[in-house]
Structure 1
Amino acid sequence: MITISICMIVKNEEQVLERCLESLKGIAEELIIVDTGSTDSTKHIAAKYTDKIYDFTWIDDFAAARNFSFSKANMDYIYVADADEVIDEENRQRFLLLKQNLLPEVEIVQMKYANQLAFNTTYNFDVEYRPKLYKRIRKFYFTDPIHESVLLSPVVYDSEVTIMHMPISNHATRDFQIYRRVIEREGQLSAKLFEMYAKELFIAGEDKDFLEAAEYYEDFVENMDCSERERKISECILAKYYRIKRDVTGLMKYSLHNIGDGKGSAEVCYELGEFFYENGDYKEATIWYYNAAYETECELNIHYAGDYPLKRLAECYRFLGNKQQEEAFQELYDTWSIENLR
């Protein structure tokens, strides 16, 4: 049977940490908690479960903190946990069974990440696989009977263990600061962070956050050799930015670029709907809200192709005095919300 080190990085998690640690009881031989500057009772709560608590000066770098936590591990495998995660009893038993039967050649175990939209997270999915358990020391093997080479791809196993992601607050403000500091320091974001920044803006960003982010995305789309995906993402950001600024020229420029290829984004159509809605042209607004809900795909936030435009359609038809259409779209909005935010 394998042995496991749980490695966590925490800061001011007093509201959720004990819930997490209780759900992890009995799973691992070692619990390592790295605190990046808590000012609440986080470390006191952690001390009930382990004496392996380390301080790490926060440098706006989760990777550095995670690597530090890994350096303290001693067991066969490392399980990466966040304080706002919970494993219920059914999945605890699955985890223990996995622990007893895991083949030694497996280097990464993926687990199902249940990321309910009701918890206002950055991710647009209910369940997806994420790597959670890592072999601490990796052995290298040669492969192929001729022209042999070292096997570099890890052996990955998709388990049936499901982890519930249940945050009680959103960390967007902190994340936005980190994104901006990375841009200031390095000049650009990685492809992953480029998209994650945009997703967080559309899920949790306020107007001021779009105003602060727009310069980067506009410079990128105007001056870089970007992919179609990067272009679409940038157009979503810039359509909202110019709508917030009430700059019709900028809004039209990036909206027309976006929908001109016949594959417009729901976020852009929604922003066009918002522009006409704010100007009292409810009939025109319905066209764009309808396009957001039914004729386009979302790039960054599934709400923009779901409940957001449906709610606006009901409101527009109320203003237009069309009771039948108002009730129809209100029912569609209610149904979407029940099915997706349960």
Structure 2
Amino acid sequence: MATISLCMIVKNEESCLGKCLDSLKGIVDEMIVVDTGSTDNTIQIAKERGAKVYNFKWTGDFSDARNYSFSLASCDYIYTADADEELDEENRQRFLKLKEDIVELDVDIVQMYYSNQLSFRTVYNFDRELRPKLYKRIRKFRWVDPIHEQVALEPVVCDSDIEIIHKPKENHAGRDLAAFRKAVNDGRKFSRRLLGMYARELFMAGTDDDFIQSKDFFVQATLDNNRSLDEIKEASCVLAHIAVLEKDAESMLKYTLKDAITEMSSEMCYELGDYYYGKRDLDEAIVWYFNAAYECSSILDIKKSMELPRLAIAKCYRELGNEEQAADYEREAADVANME
């Protein structure tokens, strides 16, 4: 049977850490908790449950803390968890079965289902999806191919039926957006994935000030010849929203056209709806909200193609004195929200 090290990074998680650790008892063989500056009872709760607790001075980079936690592990596999995750009894049993079988499977990474993601408008657009959660601590390299042989560099990944219940107690957007800004100020290179996560976090939870502070970064992204068209479209959606906030028609046109190089996104159509709504051109606003809802697809925030444009159309019709149409769109908005 394989052995498993639990590796966590935490800060002020006294409200949920105990439940998380209790749900993993009997599954993991060691619990490593890296604390980044708790001022509540987090450390005491971890120690009471047998965890080894290490202090780590926060650098503003989650990867630094995560890598440090991995460096302390001693078992065959490393399981990563956040304090607001839990396993119910059914999934505990699935995990125990996996622990018995994994030696024969010879895999590097096991993915598990992450559920309840839409709570608190997180950066994920799906309530349940597979995520890598269990990692082989020491990976063995092997040669492949009978001729022109090479070392296999791609990890062997398998999907499990284990479902982790995510129970966030609060929205961490403020913390995360501050971390994005620090990375920008430090001159860190943003990967394709990270740029999209920054844009998505802004749309799902960012304040007007958060958008304004991101402007220079996303302007540079649209000018970067190494960025893909998808990245430029995502950056343009952010900049279009800023243009609406700043009532900057010239920039609105500029970034709308960048998105329109291919099929326009629901996000961009929604921004155009907001632009014309702000101009009190309600008929034109309805046209663009309609396109967001029915003619285009989301690239960042799924709600911009679902209930939000329908509610915006309802608002416009109500201001135009058409209560019946407004009520119809509000009902439809409620229906599609329940489908997510």
Normalised to the residue count of structure 2, the TM-score between the two structures is 0.95
**Aligned-pair CA distance for 1:334:** 0.9
Equivalences, count? 339
Preserved CA contact (<8 Å) 1:124 1:301: yes
Give structure 2 stretches of 5+ with no counterpart. Answer: none
**Aligned-pair CA distance for 1:165:** 2.0
Number of the residue aligned with 1:15: 15
Number of the residue aligned with 1:324: 324
**Aligned-pair CA distance for 1:77:** 0.8
Deviation per residue, 1:99-150 (Å, 9 max, x gap): 1112251111111111431332111112221111111112222223333322
Deviation per residue, 1:53-94 (Å, 9 max, x gap): 000111111111111111111111110111111212211111
Please state whether the residue corresponding to 2:59 is helix, strand or coil. Answer: coil
Q: Given residue 2 of structure 1, which amino acid in structure 2 is its aligned partner? A: A
Q: What CA distance in whole angstroms lies between the structure 2 residues aligned with 1:188 and 1:25? A: 39
Query: For 1:154-233, what aligned pairs fall within 5 Å after superposition?
Result: 154-186=155-187, 188-233=189-234
Q: What CA distance in whole angstroms lies between the structure 1 residues aligned with 2:224 and 2:67? A: 35
Q: Given residue 156 of structure 2, which amino acid in structure 1 is its aligned partner? A: V
Number of the residue aligned with 1:315: 315
Q: Select between 9-18 and 109-118 the one with higher mean Cα deviation.
A: 109-118
Number of the residue aligned with 1:57: 57
Number of the residue aligned with 2:149: 148
Preserved CA contact (<8 Å) 2:34 2:65: yes
Please state whether the residue corresponding to 1:2 is helix, strand or coil. Answer: coil
Preserved CA contact (<8 Å) 1:195 1:233: yes
Q: Given residue 336 of structure 1, which amino acid in structure 2 is its aligned partner? A: V
Please state whether the residue corresponding to 1:145 is helix, strand or coil. Answer: coil
Give the percent of matched residue pairs that are identical in Structure 1 and Structure 2: 49
Q: Given residue 67 of structure 2, which amino acid in structure 1 is its aligned partner? A: N
Q: Select between 50-59 and 17-26 the one with higher mean Cα deviation.
A: 17-26
Q: Given residue 96 of structure 1, which amino acid in structure 2 is its aligned partner? A: L
Deviation per residue, 1:158-189 (Å, 9 max, x gap): 11101122212122222222222222222542
Q: What CA distance in whole angstroms lies between the structure 1 residues aligned with 2:14 and 2:100? A: 32
Please state whether the residue corresponding to 2:20 is helix, strand or coil. Answer: helix
Number of the residue aligned with 1:83: 83
Q: Given residue 299 of structure 1, which amino acid in structure 2 is its aligned partner? A: I
Preserved CA contact (<8 Å) 2:30 2:51: no
Normalised to the residue count of structure 1, the TM-score between the two structures is 0.94
**Aligned-pair CA distance for 1:19:** 2.2
Please state whether the residue corresponding to 2:48 is helix, strand or coil. Answer: coil
Q: What CA distance in whole angstroms lies between the structure 1 residues aligned with 2:157 and 2:224? A: 39
Q: Given residue 158 of structure 1, which amino acid in structure 2 is its aligned partner? A: D
Q: Given residue 15 of structure 1, which amino acid in structure 2 is its aligned partner? A: S
Q: What CA distance in whole angstroms lies between the structure 2 residues aligned with 1:270 and 1:203? A: 14
CA RMSD of aligned residues (A): 1.6
Q: Select between 86-95 and 221-230 the one with higher mean Cα deviation.
A: 221-230
Number of the residue aligned with 2:121: 120
Query: For 1:97-116, what aligned pairs fall within 5 Å after superposition?
Result: 97-102=97-102, 103=104, 105-116=106-117
Preserved CA contact (<8 Å) 1:307 1:336: yes
Q: Select between 173-182 and 197-206 the one with higher mean Cα deviation.
A: 173-182
Q: What CA distance in whole angstroms lies between the structure 2 residues aligned with 1:220 and 1:81? A: 32
Number of the residue aligned with 2:277: 277
